[in-house]
Structure 1
Amino acid sequence: MSLSLGSNSQARRSLTIYARRAVLNVAMLLRDSEVARQVRVYLLDMEYAARAQPVENPAPTDVVSLDDRIDQRITHILGKTVVPMFNALIETSGEHRREMIALRAGVQRIERRLHQHHTRLQRLEGLRDDRPAIGVMAAMDAMHGRTFEHHIAKLLRRDGCTNVVVQGGHGDRGVDIIALTADGRRLVAQCKRFAPYLNITSPDVQRFVGSAKVLHSAEVALFVATCPFTPEALSIASEAGITAVHRGVLEEWSAGEPLRVLG
């Protein structure tokens, strides 16, 4: 009995002899296959028909036994019908197996990607102590100038400052807030609520240096702004001992991170 096994690259044929009992055993094992069920029924029917059919007495010269004739008939039937069905079953099973393996590999890749995305989302959405609260800067951008000054005064009180006075307006002598730090140093602050696309320039810082250091003899001077500082303005502030609280630092400060200069 010949079984032809298919492959992806090319078909290979081999000749293998199986007893009908072996084929029947294989068909019995494949319980969930419709083809295997048909093979079992066919083999059993042919076995019964071959043995029930009367056979003439063989001639003395005929050495072929009854069982041999039955085997020949069954072998002929198997070669014409059952073997092609088995070949189709084997090839189909192989294709399904390869498909299932490929599908499993695809599912595993998707699971890995989902796990990676889940980890990234947790990292991005998770609350961290050093991460500014959502909407802090949007809230300050919507404030009026006076409201913004009181917001900065509130942050100063939160960080231990005392005698905090908001004096922005005419006659403020170039500063908006005066206070004492927790350790008793004299503090002044200039508050600028500018649009995020604007900048604090060097002339802005220079004017504040004169007010903070000369007019108020401040030991701690804060220039707080809702926008960035130009590089030159940052350089002047550093040389003059002014703490530039630009947009990024202001966001962290408002979210709970204390200013180092106040400690």
Structure 2
Amino acid sequence: MLERTDVLDRVKALSLLPDGMHVTTAMVAVYFGVTADVIRQLTKRHRKELETNGMVVLRGPELRNFESDNMSLSLGSNSQARRSLTIYARRAVLNVAMLLRDSEVARQVRVYLLDMEYAARAQPVENPAPTDVVSLDDRIDQRITHILGKTVVPMFNALIETSGEHRREMIALRAGVQRIERRLHQHHTRLQRLEGLRDDRPAIGVMAAMDAMHGRTFEHHIAKLLRRDGCTNVVVQGGHGDRGVDIIALTADGRRLVAQCKRFAPYLNITSPDVQRFVGSAKVLHSAEVALFVATCPFTPEALSIASEAGITAVHRGVLEEWSAGEPLRVLG
């Protein structure tokens, strides 16, 4: 997992020093939304582990050379008197995310890594002998079920106890994990033949895949789901001049549909102004009969209330996961 440093930028932009490879203690603290003292205490407790993964303490000529190469580095007015400087490679920053307890950003990085682990474990196994494929896939499903039930769900239980304002989101994420666990268990018990195994397997890591998409790719993914559920004349028109909607289409029964697609980090929220702008575009400019606001993050309670009153279907992260895994949206029926 320590090789997946790209996860850092998917959760939150990580600013680097001019060398393009390192950050200071203060920069690590800003990224995780904690104080520099918290990071210093953590590095003191886990110094050997972090040094193995790219944390370096510069002194003497090595420090002077680094300062010279990074002229924009803010070291304060007493920089000449500085005796040492701790810098972190991206791998060390990811290591900090695995160790840091009281940081929502660190928690979200860990959730991303877990999602990627699910996706990696769920990749189809190529094997020329069909009986071996069934046996190996079955063992993989059992292993994933064990990990979800014995490790991931308890982890969410612990996070929920300390998550404060993000408690509702954590509960929703835990429910999603438990759904996957139940599906895998049910699938294992009714396993009959290889083809059935491949057809029935739920989509694991689907949210990790969407979180990794660019905005335009995400819009096309939603368009594909609409076509899967019977919509016609599906057009992705996001960009300049889209009049506030990303996709237009007709439902299977001929109703005019518009969709707004927001690929936001999971720790962000769709707010009431976001929904209000879409209401104007969907109902006034496009006269839509079905209006979907699709997002990879939660909606605030106020945003959900406005959406309900205005006839907007809020497809938040939990609903989006189920929709992508094969569950049709009721409003499209």
| Cα distance change of structure 1 residues 125 and 262 upon mapping to structure 2, 3 Å threshold | same
Matched residues in 2 for 1:136 and 1:76: separation?
Answer: 19
**Map of 2:87 onto structure 1:** 17
CA distance 1:215–1:128, change in 2 (3 Å): same
Q: TM-score, normalised by structure 2?
A: 0.41
Moved more, 148-157 or 50-59: 50-59
Deviation (angstroms), 1:179: 0.2
Distance 2:100 2:115 in 1: 18
Aligned residues: 263
- State the 1:209 CA deviation: 0.2
Q: Aligned-pair distance for 1:133? A: 1.6
Task: Return the offset for 1:64.
Answer: 87
TM-aligned CA deviation for residue 187 of structure 1:
0.1
Relative to structure 1, is the Cα distance of residues 209 and 130 closer, same or farther in structure 2, using a 3 angstrom cutoff? Answer: farther
8 Å contact kept, 2:236–2:248: yes
2:130 & 2:245 partners in 1: Cα distance? 133
The answer to whether residue 184 in structure 2 is matched with residue 119 in structure 1 is no
Deviations 1:122-175 (A, max 9, x none): 999998999952110000000000000000000000000000000000000000
C-alpha separation between the residues in 2 aligned to 1:78 and 1:258? 25
DSSP 3-state at the match of 1:228: coil
Moved more, 60-69 or 171-180: 60-69
Contact 1:4/1:12, CA 8 A, preserved across alignment: no
Distance change in 2, residues 1:119/1:197 (3 Å): same
CA separation of 1:55/1:84 partners in 2, compared to 1, >3 Å: closer, same or farther? Answer: same
User: Which stretches in structure 2 are left out of the alignment for 5+ residues?
Assistant: 1-70
SS state at 2:287 partner: coil
In structure 2, what is the Cα distance between the partners aligned to 1:132 and 1:69? 16
Q: 1:101 to 1:5 in 2, by over 3 A?
A: farther
Identify unmatched segments of 5+ residues in structure 1. Answer: none
Note if 1:78 corresponds to 2:148: yes
Match of residue 223 from structure 1:
293
Given that residues 188 and 222 in structure 1 are in contact (C-alpha distance below 8 angstroms), is that contact kept between their aligned partners in structure 2? yes
| TM-score normalised per structure 1 | 0.52
Query: Does the C-alpha gap of structure 1 residues 24 and 88 become closer, same or farther in structure 2, counting only changes over 3 Å?
Result: farther
Local SS of the residue matching 1:154: helix
Segments of 4+ in structure 1 off by > 3 A? 1-132
SS of residue matched to 1:223: strand
Mapping of residues 227-242 of structure 1, within 5 Å: 227-242=297-312
Deviations 1:23-75 (CA, angstroms, capped at 9, x unpaired): 99999999999999999999999999999999999999999999999999999
Identify which range, 47-56 or 154-163, moves more after superposition.
47-56
Match of 2:319 in 1: 249
Give yes or no for the alignment of 1:258 onto 2:328: yes
CA contact (8 A) 1:3 1:16 kept: no
Contact 1:149 1:166 in 2 (8 A): yes
CA RMSD of aligned residues (A): 35.5
* Structure 1 contact 165–179 (Cα < 8 Å) conserved: yes
Is contact 1:188–1:218 with CA below 8 Å preserved after alignment? yes
Question: Which position in structure 1 is the counterpart of 2:206?
Answer: 136
Give, in whole Å, the separation in 1 of the partners of 2:122 and 2:330: 105
1:154–1:231 distance in 2 versus 1, CA, 3 Å:
same
Moved more, 59-68 or 190-199: 59-68
> Residue 141 of structure 2 contacts residue 188 of structure 2 at CA under 8 Å; is this kept in 1?
no
